[in-house]
Amino acid sequence: MSSNRPHGDDPSSGTSPSRLFSLASSDARGELVDREGLDEEDVVQIDRLMAAISALRAAERSLSEASRRFMRLGETDMRALHLLIVCENTGTLATAGAIAHGLGISSASTTTLLDRLERAGHIRRTPHPTDRRALVVAIDPATREAAVRTVGRQQAGRVRAARHLDTEEREVVIGFLEDMTAQLSLDGLDWGPPPAGSRG
């Protein structure tokens, strides 16, 4: 008989994903979530949803770690290569300034990043066609092919999963994810002073 339980999940364990993210375990006293209007089936389904999100995050972390090991690069390096692939696909000239903005890092950090990637043969820098002060950064064709063939193809599984849904189902998922993002937003949040034990 098939099961909706994540692979390797032992529900009897207090550290299993299904227990870690269940309302009964994480909010036993009802301090965080108002359960009014929720019956037992609702709670069970919400628990399954939270466990599924946890499993997705774990899969994303595993894929990210595997891709960095395969490419022998750091997280920011991989993000930079992805940005360069997007620029190439959209016909956008990637300058150091654009890369810094896209990655949210300083100019100095961007220079160090690009120097490192260029030394490793992953990128090349050529004169900008209209701005003599700037250089255009492009991903090396061999690096692009390796990234697309491995990491990119695996990441495309997101789209394959989305194709399994019909239009109305996708709208429901979009609404749910947008609402969850808003619920988790730190905008305007003030937690006050940290606990005494966490002060250095």
Claim to verify: residue 127 and residue 66 sit in the same structural domain? no
- Got the DSSP string for 3-26? --SPTT--TTSTTSHHHHT-HHHH
Claim to verify: residue 59 and residue 91 sit in the same structural domain? no
In a domain, 99, yes or no: yes
Give CA–CA dist 8/86, Å, rounded. Answer: 37
Residues 6+ apart with CB under 8 A from 33: 23, 27
Segment 76-104, tens digit of pLDDT: 999 999 999 999 999 999 999 999 999 99
Claim to verify: residue 84 and residue 142 sit in the same structural domain? yes
Claim to verify: residue 43 and residue 95 sit in the same structural domain? no
* Tokens, residue 181: 């993002």
In a domain, 147, yes or no: yes
Claim to verify: residue 114 and residue 56 sit in the same structural domain? no
By the 10 Å C-beta count (0-12 exposed, 13-18 middle, 19+ buried), 80 is classed as buried
Claim to verify: residue 107 and residue 67 sit in the same structural domain? no
Claim to verify: residue 55 and residue 80 sit in the same structural domain? no
Residues 6+ apart with CB under 8 A from 162: 170, 173
In a domain, 21, yes or no: yes
Biggest distance spanned by C-alpha atoms of the chain: 67
Radius of gyration of the chain (CA): 22
Q: Tens of pLDDT along the chain (200 residues)? A: 444 554 545 555 555 656 777 888 888 888 888 888 888 899 889 999 999 999 999 999 999 999 999 999 999 999 999 999 999 999 999 999 999 999 999 999 999 999 999 999 999 999 999 999 999 999 999 999 999 998 898 989 999 999 999 999 999 999 999 999 999 999 988 888 888 776 65
| Residue-level pLDDT at 86 | 96
* Tokens, residue 157: 């599984």
Claim to verify: residue 147 and residue 113 sit in the same structural domain? yes
The number of folded domains in the chain is 2
Claim to verify: residue 99 and residue 63 sit in the same structural domain? no
Give CA–CA dist 143/123, Å, rounded. Answer: 8
CATH code (residue 107) = 1.10.10.10
Domain range holding 52?
13-28+38-71
In a domain, 20, yes or no: yes
Give CA–CA dist 139/80, Å, rounded. Answer: 9
Claim to verify: residue 92 and residue 80 sit in the same structural domain? yes
In a domain, 198, yes or no: no
Q: Rounded to an integer, what is the distance from CA 15 to the centroid of its chain?
A: 23
Claim to verify: residue 24 and residue 91 sit in the same structural domain? no
Q: Rounded to an integer, what is the distance from CA 58 to the centroid of its chain?
A: 10
* Tokens, residue 139: 């991903």
